[in-house]
Structure 1
Amino acid sequence: MTFAEKPEGNRSLVDEKQQYLGARHQANGKPGASGKARLSARQEAKDKCDLPRKSLNMYTWQEIQRHSQETDQWLVINRKVYDVTGWADRHPGGRQVLNHYAGEDATDVFRAMHPDPDIVRLYLKPLLIGELAPEEPNQERNKNSRLVEDFQELRKTLETMNLFNANLGFFFLHFGQLLILEALAWVIVWHFGSGWLVTIFISCLLTVAQAQSMFLQHDMGHLSVFKKSKWNHLMQKFVMSHFKGLSTKWWNNRHFQHHVKTNIDTKDPDIDVGPLFIVGDLTPVEHGKNKIKYIDYEKQHLYFCMVAVPLLMPVCMNLESILEMYRRRYWEDIAWVNSFYIRYFITFGPFYGIFGTMVLIYLIKLLESLWFGYVSQMSHIPMKISREENQDWLSTQVLATCNVEQSFFNDWFTGHLNFQIEHHLFPTMPRHNYHKVAPLVKSLCAKHGLPYVNKPMLKAFGDIFRALKNSAALWKEAYCTHPEI
């Protein structure tokens, strides 16, 4: 099935929607080249998983919710009940992702996180144990079924408009930017020598390359940029591990948890910032009541500037990545990460020596840390941080994220992650399409009374400090007003 080509010019999304929804099948009914590739992959999966169908049992939500332990995990996708307990350790996104949704409806998160869910559904067949009883609703009873249906309808519309299709030219342009910056840095130091002014200048060039490579590898981890997943996998390894020196598997396992349970305490590793920081409204009060004081939390907004952001990339993330690689024996990632350091020593070692090259790498990662730290935190720390509430997908992501106003600089500086709401709702959508989707998401939020937060960049940066100060004030009030136990 193919749809009419996307109209050129500045037509509204409403016009595009009407055109795409009105498109017809090709006359011969045959899929295009991409369709053949997908069918081939689906056939391969079907050959692997074509097992006899089990007799299906009927379950209520009450029964399903009892299977929410790490050793007993059921979940629901499109009213089908799956026992994923034995599959968790083999899950490409990490076992914790499945554990976080055990006992819940995972329909929307399943669709959001898999670029081609039709293939994955074939692998799910052996895990199928039953389905929801006919009298049971599609989602848990605490969820707004109308909101869920409207969001699913929006997704179908966006799929019909081909907004999940990647523009290869966009990604190769960004990849070319990385290669040019790396080559330019070497040419400059080769021509002008290794003086301190040259070192600062090439450090800035390489910092831009490092920051932009983070955004590019992020795409390869989420999208089907290439028709074959092995090329996405190889490209992410090259950009994340060879260009940045970080483990791809470590990053994916951590990052996917962040996406599926954004800003959920104990489930989102990005807000697991203790004991140096306390964030949100609940943890500070609990720490205060229990007289927990690892540092002077009243000054945590200053620690964030002086300690957390500068050390995020060169110390925290690098150490965490190294420990995970060796603990889990990610031999492929270890080889790729070693190639990062080998390349730097070959390229810059003749000019700086071994120690000087290590200092150069640290300086680059320090500068990148300042960049990435603010970009990654401005859309989450100031937003709602809560315990598990088992809300619908739309509400969970919209309440936990915010956008930064669009401009050419903002788009480039954040890697288009200034559209954080759209990115979290549709992780497998290419980032060059976020601005097209934003008006429709905003309209849906307005219909259901959900806040759609869009800020100037400087205000977004400032809100990080204001949120940290507010959490510290909650801690101090609880600490001072509750007697020691």
Structure 2
Amino acid sequence: MPQPAAVALDGPRDSTGGPPAGHRTGSEFAPLLRTVRDHGLLGRRHAWYARVIATNALALAGVVTALVLIGDSWWALPLAVPLAVLFARTAFIGHDAGHAQIGGDKAVGRLIGLVHGNLLLGLSYGWWNAKHNRHHANPNHVDKDPDVAADVLVFSGEQAGDRSGFRRWLTRNQAWLFFPLTLLEGVALKVHSFQDLRRQPPRERAVEGALLVTHAVAYVTLLLTVLSPGKALAFAALHQALFGLHLGLAFAPNHKGMEMPDPDGEPWGHLRRQVLTSRNIRGGALTDWFLGGLNYQIEHHLFPSMPRPHLRLAQPLVRAHCRDLGVPYVETGLVDSYRQALRHLHEVGEPLRADQAP
């Protein structure tokens, strides 16, 4: 059934993380915003983030120290596993900084993002933040959300119909290829980051480019200083593959297989645009940690600047509000979320498989 189209949220967002200042929120979102604000859930958690950042930095330093102490041995390769996990933690911190969850000062947020993105990960904070903000404005909208634009994967029948050659083969098999492809995501993010430097203003290009190069030089120097070239290459390949897989595991459950607004339909308000296109993941403290709080995807999309530890506190309020409105609030287990996402990718590729059948 065709679904209403999402409407772009143009203009600056207010400090609550809701729609832009001056944008009509409508009767559905406004009462929820007041309730959340009255509970103090939009307030900052500086001490919590300070502990998270410090703990992550110490853990990274610990893994690097262990790598140096082990030296040129194949026993160093298992350290690629915790390093990949910590790189994902670093990405989550950069994500929160980009949403102004850590603090209201844009300069401080950008500094945190540059350190955790460009310097520590080799990932352009400016490129990712601009792309991610477009996603938040119009989630799952094929014309406006860059995360569902036709690329290696496609997410709608219309996109699948335009495929040819090798890309057509990819689409036919994309459900099976999804997780193997995430093994390349760590490297792909670095490539996109360098490519985007051409788009950035000269001053930002200089800063971001210098930090990206610093990361690359430091990463290669560390591995080649400690390990022989063959072991260094194996460590880097394993580390980057697991980092990409971890990011794929964290981002795949959030929107894949959820409602995709019809560009020609009626517009949705802010609440429906964010709730109907998002999926939450059930779980406890381990799930929160593993997914970096993105398991509360509905709450995060409704209130992007809400600090990560407040998302679980907002969940009962959002769920109750959606229930009162009769708006579907989708929450499932982690494994089932992957099943739903892969089923959607499989269904999108079905017409191409049918055309291939003898």
Aligned-residue Cα RMSD (Å) equals: 2.8
| 1:377 and 1:464 in contact (8 A); partners too | yes
- Among 232, 250, 261, the residue aligned to 1:386: 261
Q: Does residue 310 in structure 1 map to residue 192 in structure 2? A: no
Q: Does residue 458 in structure 1 map to residue 358 in structure 2? A: no
Q: Deviations over 1:169-213 (max 9, x none)?
A: 22122212321222212222222223112222x211211110001
Q: Deviations over 1:42-97 (max 9, x none)?
A: xxxxxxxxxxxxxxxxxxxxxxxxxxxxxxxxxxxxxxxxxxxxxxxxxxxxxxxx
Q: Does residue 151 in structure 1 map to residue 23 in structure 2? A: no
Cα distance in 1 for partners of 2:192, 2:316 equals 38
The corresponding residue for 1:242 is 119
SS at match of 1:384: coil
State which structure, 1 or 2, has the greater radius of gyration over its C-alpha atoms.
1
TM-score by length of 1: 0.65
Cα distance in 2 for partners of 1:439, 1:474 equals 40
Unaligned regions of 5+ residues in structure 2, if any? 1-6
338-347 vs 446-455, which deviates more?
338-347
> How many pairs were matched up?
344
Cα distance in 2 for partners of 1:295, 1:385 equals 24
- Among 211, 217, 223, the residue aligned to 1:336: 211
How far did residue 403 of structure 1 move?
A: 0.2
- Among 387, 404, 426, the residue aligned to 2:303: 426
Unaligned regions of 5+ residues in structure 1, if any? 1-99, 125-137, 140-144
Question: What does residue range 255-270 of structure 1 map to in structure 2 within 5 Å?
Answer: 255-270=132-147
How far did residue 466 of structure 1 move?
A: 1.2
229-238 vs 290-299, which deviates more?
290-299
Q: Deviations over 1:362-421 (max 9, x none)?
A: 432210111111211211112112333421111111111100003111000000110000
SS at match of 2:276: helix
Question: What does residue range 54-65 of structure 1 map to in structure 2 within 5 Å?
Answer: none
Cα distance in 1 for partners of 2:16, 2:256 equals 31
Cα distance in 1 for partners of 2:246, 2:351 equals 29
4+ residue segments displaced more than 4 Å: 290-293, 353-359, 474-477
How far did residue 273 of structure 1 move?
A: 3.7
The corresponding residue for 1:132 is none
SS at match of 1:295: helix
| 1:194 and 1:351 in contact (8 A); partners too | yes
| 2:280 and 2:332 in contact (8 A); partners too | yes
Q: Deviations over 1:91-122 (max 9, x none)?
A: xxxxxxxxx73xxxx4xx767x44378xx96x
Q: Give the % identical residues.
A: 22
Cα distance in 2 for partners of 1:414, 1:263 equals 20
The corresponding residue for 1:164 is 42
| 2:16 and 2:42 in contact (8 A); partners too | no
Q: Does residue 178 in structure 1 map to residue 56 in structure 2? A: yes
The corresponding residue for 1:297 is 171
Q: Deviations over 1:128-179 (max 9, x none)?
A: xxxxxxxxxx96xxxxx9xx31311211221222211121222122212321
| 1:241 and 1:248 in contact (8 A); partners too | yes
Structure 1 residues 313 and 296: CA distance shift in structure 2, 3 A: closer
Higher relative contact order (CA 8 A, sep 6+): 2
Cα distance in 1 for partners of 2:47, 2:92 equals 16
Cα distance in 1 for partners of 2:236, 2:165 equals 41
- Among 6, 12, 15, the residue aligned to 1:115: 15
TM-score by length of 2: 0.86
How far did residue 475 of structure 1 move?
A: 4.5
How far did residue 358 of structure 1 move?
A: 5.5
How far did residue 255 of structure 1 move?
A: 0.5
The amino acid that maps onto 2:15 is P
